[in-house]
Structure 1
Amino acid sequence: MGTTRRISAVVLAAGLGVGTLGACSDSDSGSDAAGGSGDSKTVTLVSHDSFAASKSVLADFQKTTGYKLRVLKDGDAGQAVNKAILTKDHPQGDVFFGVDNTLLSRALDNGLFQTYEAKGAGQVKAQYRVDQDKNRVTPIDTGSICVNYDKKYFTGHKIQPPRTYADLAKPAYKNLLVTENAATSSPGLGFLLGSAAQYGDNGWQTYWKKLKANGVKVVDSWEQAYNTEFSGSAGGKKAKGDRPLVVSYASSPPSEAIYADPQPAQAPTGVSSGTCFQQTEYAGLLSNAHNTKGGKAFLDFLITKKFQDDMPLNMFVDPVVNGAQPPASYRKYAVQVTDPHTMAPSRIADHRDDWVDSWTALVLK
C-alpha cells in the first residue's frame, strides 16, 4: 500500500525516481546490493518504502530459518513495481513485496514472479486469494485508499468534510484536494479506479473534468501529497501544507494518533468513507532469484500469525490471515470502511493502461 501509511517513516529523498534504489538493512549490510542476495544465508527483499516490521519479529525469522534479511526499498509502490519489471532478468533481490491489486496484472503479465504456494496459504481468507492456478503471488495485507481530511480545518471553516466522490467536485471544496499521479503512484491509481467503479467506463472522465475545474492538485507520490501538501499530517505541519483533503488510506488516522505525543482522545484526521477503494498487497518469489530457498522461507513467514499480528502498528494495514487482527490501540482509532469500491482484477487489467493514458491527457495536460 504503497506506498506508505506509516507517517513517521523516512520519506522519499528529493528527486527519487525509478532509477534510484534506496537500501535499508534490518540485519545484514554485507550483501551484494545488485543481483539479489550475496550468499545463501541472506534473503533480499525488494519493496516500496512502507515495508516495516518489529526487530523482534525479524529476529524470529532469522532464528527459526537461519536466514538473514536484507531490505531494499525503492520509493512508491508504482515506482518499485516498474523497477522490478525492468530488472527482472537480473533482479535486485529474491522476494518482492508490495504489488497491489491495481498493478498485479502488469507484474504477472511481465513474468515478474515464479510459481510458489507459501506454506499456510490455506489460512489466507478466500476473498484475497488470486492466481490460485499458478500461485505466483501470496496475499499479505489489505486496506482502503480513501480521501482523508484535516478535522481542524473543517472545524475552523464550519463546513462539513466531504463524504463522497461527488462532494469533492462541489464549489465548497475548490482548491482543497491533493491527490497522487495515477501513472506513478498506487494510491493515485486506486483513486482513479475508485472513480471508474463509481461512474463507469465513460463517466469517470466527466467526473475528473469537474475535479480539475475545481482545483485538484496532482503530485507524484504519496509522500509528497501527505507529508508536504496535506495540512493535517505531522509532515504537513512542518511543511505548512495548505490542502486539507488528501488521497491516502483509511489507516492514516490511527497512524497520526498512535505516534502522537501525547496520544489524543481522537485522531486529528478523518476519512471520507464514500471515497474508498479496496487495496490488497501481494508478495512473490522473483523470477531469477538467487536464493530461492530463502525466498520461499520468507514468503512462508509473511503469512504467519506472528508477522500478520505485527503489521498493523508497523505498516498500518490489516492482516489477511484467519485468526490475526490489529491490536486494541489500532482499533481504537481505525475507521471501519464497510463498503469500499472494488474492481475485478480482469477489469483492471483490461482498462488500466488506457484509463491512465486518458487520465494523464485529461488532468495533466
Structure 2
Amino acid sequence: MLRLSGAHAGTHHAGPVAGLLAVALLLAGCGSSGSGGSETGSGDPSASGTVTLVTHDSWALDEKLVDRFEQESGLTLEVSAAGDAGTLVNQLVLTQDAPLGDAVFGIDNTFASRALEADVVEEYTPTGLPDGAEQLGGALTPIDQGDVCVNADEAWFEKSDLEVPKTLDDLADPKYRDLLVVTNPATSSPGLAFLLATIGAFGEDGFESYWTSLVDNGVKVADSWEDAYYVDFSGAGEGGERPLALSYATSPAFTVSEDGSESTTSALLETCFRQVEYAGVLTGSDNPEGARELVDFLLTEDVQSALPESMYMYPADPSVQLPADWKKFAPQADAPFEVEPTEVSEHRDEWIERWTETVLG
C-alpha cells in the first residue's frame, strides 16, 4: 500500500549508526554524463557512465520513467538504499570523505540542516525549479512534501464502538491506552516530524510532559515507519494490533474500499507536521554532472505527476494535477504544527536526547 519516506515519506540524529543497510539495486540502461540543464537528455547521448542515487528504503519510481531517464540521458541509474531517512543522513555524514554515490534523494526538512552543516551536498540550482519550490542552502532541491500525522483504523474504531481521536491531547486519554504506535525520532524522519509537531504544540518546555503522558498511556515506539505501519498498525491489513499509527495524511488514499467510496483509514489532521523531501548532488561524487541531470529529472512534469501514486507524497510543483481521489481521501492539514528551521538546527539533537530519556529511559 504505502511508502513513506520518508516520506516519504523524509531522518537522522547525531549518535553513532549501527547496522546500516546499504543495498545497491541496478535498475537498467546505458550511460552518459549530463550537463545539468532543466531538461533531462541535455547531456551527450553517446557518452556512457553510471549515476548512483543514494536514498531511503521507501524510494519507488515507475521503472518506465527510470528507463526513459536512462534512454534520454545515456546514463545508467543505480540506486543504493540506506535505511530510513534519518539513517540516510547519518550514513552520508559518516562517509562524506568517500561518498556512497553521486546524488541523494530523501533528505527531509527535519534533518536538512545536518546535511548542509556537514557539507555533504554541493550547491546546485536546477533551471527548472518550480515556482513556490524553495531550495535550502542553494544545494537541496525540494522534490515532494507530505504531512506526517497519526492515522486511524476506522473499521477497528467502529467495531469497538469507540470514537476516533482527533487531537494530540486525545491520544493521551486513557480510553486510547495501548492503541498508538509511533516511530523513534532518532532513527525515523516521520518520528522526528511528529516530535517536532509536539514541540510546536506544547513548546520546548512542555513536550516532555506530553510524551510522559503518552508513555503512561502505553504508546509503542518502532524504529521505522515500515515497522510501525506494516507490523503494528491494524489498518494496514498485515495483522497489526494497534489502530493508531504514525504515518502520512496521504496514507488513507491507499486504503480505499474496492468500490472507491470510502477509505478504511483516516488521518488525524490536527496532529500533523509538514515534511519536505529534497534531492541534491553529493560533494565529491564521481559523476556530478550525471547527478545534476538526475536532480533535473526528478523535477520534470512526468516524475512530479507520478509522485502521488509512486511515493504517496505531494509533488513539489504545485501546478501538477493530483489524483482525483486525493481531495477526498488525502487532504493536507490546514494548520500543521510548525517549528522554525533555525530552532530545529540548533536544538534537534538536544530534543532527541530529551525525548529518548523521557520515552525510552
Normalised by the size of structure 1, how large is the TM-score?
0.87
CA distance in 1, matches of 2:268, 2:330: 13
Counting aligned pairs with the same residue, the percent is: 40
Give the C-alpha shift of residue 137 in structure 1. 0.8
What does the per-residue CA deviation read over 1:87-139, in whole Å, with 9 as the maximum and x for residues that have no partner? 11111110010010100111111111011111212x2414x4332xxx11101
2:178 is matched by which residue type in structure 1? N
| Corresponding position of 1:165 | 168
Tell me the SS of whatever aligns to 1:328.
coil
| Corresponding position of 1:36 | none
CA distance in 2, matches of 1:139, 1:46: 16
Give the C-alpha shift of residue 335 in structure 1. 3.0
Give the C-alpha shift of residue 18 in structure 1. 4.5
CA distance in 1, matches of 2:131, 2:313: 15
CA distance in 2, matches of 1:340, 1:129: 20
| Corresponding position of 1:319 | 315
Give the C-alpha shift of residue 363 in structure 1. 0.4
1:119 is matched by which residue type in structure 2? T
Uncovered stretches (5+) of structure 1, i.e. residues with no partner = 7-15, 31-38
What does the per-residue CA deviation read over 1:34-84, in whole Å, with 9 as the maximum and x for residues that have no partner? xxxxx9521110100111111221122122211121111112111111111
Uncovered stretches (5+) of structure 2, i.e. residues with no partner = 10-16, 32-46
| Corresponding position of 1:328 | 324
| Mapping 1:82-231, distance limit 5 Å | 82-121=90-129, 123-126=130-133, 128-131=134-137, 135-231=138-234
CA distance in 2, matches of 1:271, 1:103: 24
Tell me the SS of whatever aligns to 1:45.
strand
For this pair of structures, how many residues does the alignment match? 336
Task: Select which of 55, 60, 66 maps to 1:58.
Answer: 66
Normalised by the size of structure 2, how large is the TM-score?
0.88
1:129 is matched by which residue type in structure 2? Q
CA distance in 1, matches of 2:8, 2:349: 25
Tell me the SS of whatever aligns to 1:285.
strand
What does the per-residue CA deviation read over 1:266-323, in whole Å, with 9 as the maximum and x for residues that have no partner? 1111111110000001011001110011001001111111110111100000011142
1:179–1:217 CA contact under 8 A, matched in 2: yes
Structure that is richer in helix per residue: 1
2:295 is matched by which residue type in structure 1? L
CA distance in 1, matches of 2:348, 2:176: 28
Task: Select which of 52, 63, 72 maps to 2:80.
Answer: 72
Give the C-alpha shift of residue 194 in structure 1. 0.3
1:234 maps to 2:237 = yes
1:40–1:294 CA contact under 8 A, matched in 2: no
| Corresponding position of 2:14 | none
CA distance in 2, matches of 1:136, 1:115: 4
Give the C-alpha shift of residue 5 in structure 1. 5.2
What root-mean-square deviation, in Å, do the aligned CA atoms of Structure 1 and Structure 2 show? 2.0
Give the C-alpha shift of residue 172 in structure 1. 1.0
2:56 is matched by which residue type in structure 1? H
Task: Select which of 292, 295, 316 maps to 1:296.
Answer: 292
| Corresponding position of 2:250 | 251
Tell me the SS of whatever aligns to 1:218.
strand
| Corresponding position of 1:9 | none
2:321 is matched by which residue type in structure 1? Q
Distance 1:271 1:234, change over 3 A: same
